[in-house]
Structure 1
Amino acid sequence: MPDTLVLMFHPSPATSRVNAALAAAAATLDDVAVVDMQALYPNGAIDADAEVARLLSARRLVLQFPLQWYSVPPLLKAWQDLVLTRMYYIHPREEGDRLMGTPLLVASTAGNTAAAYTPGGANLYPLTEMMRPLQATANRCGLPWASPFFVYETGRLDDAALAEAGRAYAARIESWRRSVPGRAAALPAIAAPARIAAGAAC
C-alpha cells in the first residue's frame, strides 16, 4: 500500500477540471495513491470497513476537495461522521489509536480570489480560518497538521495556470513528505469488538 493516500472529495468528478488536474499531478508522484471518493461512493453508501483499512495502510493522508459554502463537500462530512466516529469513539483502541501520528495535509480549491477571503473581502475570513474545523478534528484524532494548500479562482485558470497549479501541488506534497515523518508503520486493520449499543454514548 502507498506511503501517501490522497482522498479526493469532489461532488462531480466527471465535470471537475481543477481538482481532476490536481489529483492527476499527485498521482504522478512515487508511492502516492489517489482515490476519487465520489466515484467510489456515488450514492453516498460509504464502506466503513474498507475506509478504516485504507487509512491504516498508509503513512500519510491528504484530503483534497473544493470549498462549498465555506465548508467541506457533503461526502467528506459523511465520511468524517462515519469513519472517524467509528475509529475514535466506538473502537478507539483497535482503530483510532493506531491511526494517531498520521500526518494530514488539506488541499482545497476556491472559485473566488485570494483577496475575497480577507476581513475586507466578500467572504470575510481567510481560507485558513475556514479550515479550523478540520484542524480541530486533526488535533482530536492525533493527526499532525500541516499548512493547507489552496488554489483560488478555479473558474479563471487557463491551461498554463492549471498546469502550474498541478506542479505546485505535487511540489507541496513532496516538500511535506520530506519535512514531516510519516506514521511509524502502516498497520493492517484488526477485528474490532461488537459495536456498542445504540445510544450508549452521546
Structure 2
Amino acid sequence: MTRLVLATRNPGKLRELRQLVAQVPQLAGLDVVSVGESYPQIEETVESGVTFEQNATLKARAVAQATNLPAIADDSGLCVDILGDCPGVFSALWSGTHGADQANIDLLLAQTIDVPVEQLTARFVSCVVLALPDGTQRAHFGEVRGRLTRDQRGTNGFGYDPIFELPDGRTLAEFTDGEKNAISHRGNAFRAVLPDLVTLLT
C-alpha cells in the first residue's frame, strides 16, 4: 500500500477523507496525508481554471509531481440557478477577497434581493480529481441541491453554509459534521473516487 496526498491545508477535508477511506477494507493501510500536514513546503497552486474540474486537476497534478505520489484534490462552489450558476468557481472570492465568508454572503444576498425566495434554487458542486505521477487521472463530481435563505442560521459551517437551506428546512450550518458528510457535495465526490483508489492503488 502507498501514501495518498490530499492537496489541501484544511484539516477538516483530511479528516473527512480519512474517515471514508477507513470504511473500505481494500484500502486498509493506505497512508492518507495532506499537503498542510506533511508537505508544507509545497506552494499553493494558482487556481487559474474556469471550471471545478480544471482547478482540481491543476492542484492534484501539481502535488503528484512535487511528491511523486498519488494525489487527490477537490474544487467546489455554490451555483445559484437564477444567476446562471454563479458564483461557481469564484465562490470563495465573490466579494473580491478570497475566503471573506460574510462579505461573500452579503454580496450574494444583495444581488438577489428582489428574487422571491422560492426561486433561489441552488446547488453546491464539488469535483474531486485523483492524479498519479505517471499522468493517470480520474475525476468525479458530487452535488447537493437546496435553495438560498435570507436569514443566516447555524454555526457548524463555513462559506455559504448558513444561507444554504436543505429540503428539511435546515441550513448546512445546522447539520452535524456526520450529517453533513453523509450528504455533502464533497462527501459524495470523495465517495465516488473510492473505487478508483481501490483499482489504482492496490
- TM-score w.r.t. structure 1 length? 0.40
Name the structure where strand makes up a greater proportion of residues: 2
